[in-house]
Structure 1
Amino acid sequence: MAGDEYELVTIYDIAKATGLSPTTVSKVFNQYSDVSEKTRRKILEASEQMGYIPNAQARTLTTKRSWMIGVLYIESSGAGLLHPYFGGVIEGFKKVATSKGYDLMFISKHIGGKKGGYLEHCKLRGIDGVVVVLPDYTDPYFKELLDSEIPCVLLDQESDLKSTISSNNMDGSKQAVDYLYGLGHRSIAHISGGTTYAGEQRLQGYLKAMEQLGLTVLPEHIIQGSYDYTVESGQKAMEQLLALEHLPTAVFVAGDNLAVGAMLAMKKHGLNVPEDMSIVGYDDIEMAKYLTPALTTIRQNTYALGSRAADMLICSIEGGSEARPQTDQIAVELVVRGSCREV
């Protein structure tokens, strides 16, 4: 019954109720920019109260767009959609995208059991643009999408072809090392995030910060964690560190899940954090503040990453061939808790 009521409400009804012209009402629903915010808000509020639903098919025909954005998410740790990085990013992305009239759709390589690629899926569904979380350059299907004309924004990756956005990973590493240095630590190790873009950036930030402070970096104090940032990988990396003859007094870890694993390995060996070794993580996942001790870490603003990625992608979609690839970074901050001590 409700559907019949919605169909009865037209832009002419909204125009009459607001005292505005049908043209102005139509402009608001079609995202035109030459309407004041006050007028836009008045029309949207009236349409919501009256139960108006824009005709999606008519809008598609008018604008030559599907108003659908693809989400390509390649995540190998097993956490899937529960991955803390993904949750914050997609929430920020969704809020901006839906506020501008776009729907989201997950895209995959194979549809209905048939082998295909991301590009084929996008064309089949008429996708306007794609946000890529944790890209995989080893996948030929992904390269095919990059080489296409479909607008894309990549998170935590470099590209000359598409827009990219990431946290300021190098600055995050600098903040972590500077903080440990300020507590008196001079022997600072690093458990890295493998060969990922973020992992490499955080490693380079660590090396640069150590050099700027005049600290010696021992090769054996750099342990490569896995690219999927798992707890198990953090445990293995800390086991390698603990097997050394000369232990560091502190460790900067490239991800909070890795840091959790490192703390578990220390506990297994009868060592305490921060009494025997200080630890700084990266990400500020929800669990970080509930650990014992609570984890000092570098906080990524995943919500801001997602919302800014949506702005960039929609700009690229609506700008057409004239829109050039953009690159942006989001600031990070040190969150001090209980996993570090003065020496």
Structure 2
Amino acid sequence: MSSQVPTLEEVALAAGVSRSTASRAINGGSRVSSEAQAAVDDAVARLGFVPNRAARSLVTRRTNSVALVVPEPDERFLNDPFFAATLRGMNSVLKNSDLQLVLLIAKLDESAGRIAQYLRNGHVDGAIVVSHHRKDDLEGAIEASRLPAVFVGRPFHPFPGLRFVDVDNVAGGRMATEHLLRRGCTRIAHIAGPADMTSGEDRLAGFEEAVRAAGLEPGPVVRGDFTTATGAAAMEQVLAEDPTIDGVFAASDLMASGALQTLAAHGRRVPDDVAVIGYDDLGVADDTVPALTTIANPVVRMARHATEELLVTLGALSPDTLVGGDGDAPPIIEEDGHFVLAPVLVERASS
């Protein structure tokens, strides 16, 4: 036997079939008799033939790649632990497949149009979309291209059949605020997320529900963009509007970290003067001073489940091999392709 890598022509010769028949048999068995398929399978095994992925893609029209779509600039991607957690969740599934991960990040001050065009042009077999904004309209691009996709986070413009995995952010916002109320806070401010992201809007809704259910009026609400700098600036604005606040719910741990810095600069003790709670529990909360009480956002689990759903759709993963439950973790509630996880309160020293 030749020491060189065997070719498709050699497989066809060994199997006694034409090159085109051998190619079809290797790439899925389309219009191939059972006898020819068996002969090709035997020749592949004997010769140690490995299909050329680029050539195979011309037959199957598959790229053997999936995209992680992040319509955010690279600076945000590199500095927010949300995205590292998303990659961990995806890689925990993809490591057992032969699919390549393609990362699509927006350029600074760029709309999502370039990303949408890339998806429409068929460069990937499927996509996981995270951190999407109302103006991106990636849902429209995916619907038009019919690209298999799963969103991590509730999309603004879902269409029939669009799947997403999310944490119950309304319940999480309510849970965070109720924790401050139980502690005795009566004047609670909220550092909210962006108005063009469903996570920001849902956490704000939970905050408002909890405060009003307690018979109180909400304290100042100032928006940030889930970064430390905007959390610090928002806290400055909150104190300027109402120096009597005794509780702060920040819609992300990074914004809560910034709020803690501002409170310390103003000589406000946490939690004695102002109790603070964040949202995410992706590592930041352990390193703040004091350690931050927060709502756990199960990003790794959401990304893993979204990737499993995508791979099942692509035929790259059997439904029988899904991970399913995660020990004592709350179950994933599914309805019409929408998968929702429950938030969990994690108490630390800041409240």
TM-score category of the 2 structures, normalised to the smaller one = 0.7 to 0.9
Local SS of the residue matching 1:243: helix
Cα deviation digits, residues 225-265 of structure 1 (max 9, x gap): 22x21212112211122123562211111111111111111
Aligned to 1:304: 301
- Asked whether the equivalents of residues 246 and 275 of structure 2 are also in contact (C-alpha less than 8 Å), the reply is yes
Local SS of the residue matching 2:269: coil
Select the residue among 324, 335, 339 that pairs with 2:346: 335
Select the residue among 222, 225, 228 that pairs with 1:224: 222
> Is 1:160 paired with 2:171?
no
Aligned to 1:190: 190
Local SS of the residue matching 2:314: helix
- Asked whether the equivalents of residues 134 and 157 of structure 1 are also in contact (C-alpha less than 8 Å), the reply is no
Aligned to 1:254: 251
* Aligned mates of 2:122, 2:144 — CA distance in 1: 18
* Aligned mates of 1:292, 1:123 — CA distance in 2: 46
Aligned to 2:208: 207
* Aligned mates of 1:265, 1:290 — CA distance in 2: 16
Letter in 2 for 1:222: P
* Aligned mates of 1:172, 1:254 — CA distance in 2: 10
Letter in 1 for 2:169: N
Aligned to 2:179: 179
Higher relative contact order (CA 8 A, sep 6+): 1
- Asked whether the equivalents of residues 62 and 125 of structure 2 are also in contact (C-alpha less than 8 Å), the reply is yes
Aligned to 2:37: none
Matches of residues 26-45 of structure 1 in structure 2 within 5 Å? none
Local SS of the residue matching 2:277: strand
Structure 1 stretch 228-237 or stretch 195-204: which is displaced more? 228-237
* Aligned mates of 1:192, 1:5 — CA distance in 2: 64
Q: CA deviation at 1:62?
A: 6.9
Matches of residues 99-118 of structure 1 in structure 2 within 5 Å? 99-107=96-104, 117-118=114-115
Matches of residues 1-343 of structure 1 in structure 2 within 5 Å? 7=5, 55-57=52-54, 60=57, 64-76=61-73, 78-107=75-104, 117-122=114-119, 124=121, 126-139=123-136, 143-158=140-155, 159-161=158-160, 162-195=162-195, 196-212=197-213, 214-218=214-218, 221-226=219-224, 228-245=225-242, 247-318=244-315, 326-340=337-351
- Asked whether the equivalents of residues 67 and 102 of structure 1 are also in contact (C-alpha less than 8 Å), the reply is yes
* Aligned mates of 1:258, 1:5 — CA distance in 2: 61
Local SS of the residue matching 2:276: strand
TM-score by length of 1: 0.73
Structure 1 stretch 69-78 or stretch 233-242: which is displaced more? 69-78
- Structure 2, unmatched stretches of 5+, are 7-26, 29-44, 317-334
Q: CA deviation at 1:109?
A: 7.5
* Aligned mates of 1:108, 1:241 — CA distance in 2: 33
Q: CA deviation at 1:187?
A: 2.5
Local SS of the residue matching 1:79: helix
- Structure 1, unmatched stretches of 5+, are 9-28, 31-46
Cα distance change of structure 1 residues 53 and 267 upon mapping to structure 2, 3 Å threshold: farther
Cα distance change of structure 1 residues 260 and 52 upon mapping to structure 2, 3 Å threshold: farther
Cα distance change of structure 1 residues 254 and 317 upon mapping to structure 2, 3 Å threshold: same
Local SS of the residue matching 1:138: helix
TM-score by length of 2: 0.72
Cα distance change of structure 1 residues 61 and 191 upon mapping to structure 2, 3 Å threshold: same
Superposed CA RMSD in Å reads 3.4
* Aligned mates of 2:4, 2:289 — CA distance in 1: 54
Letter in 1 for 2:166: S
Cα distance change of structure 1 residues 62 and 200 upon mapping to structure 2, 3 Å threshold: same
* Aligned mates of 1:222, 1:278 — CA distance in 2: 15
Q: How many residues align?
A: 289
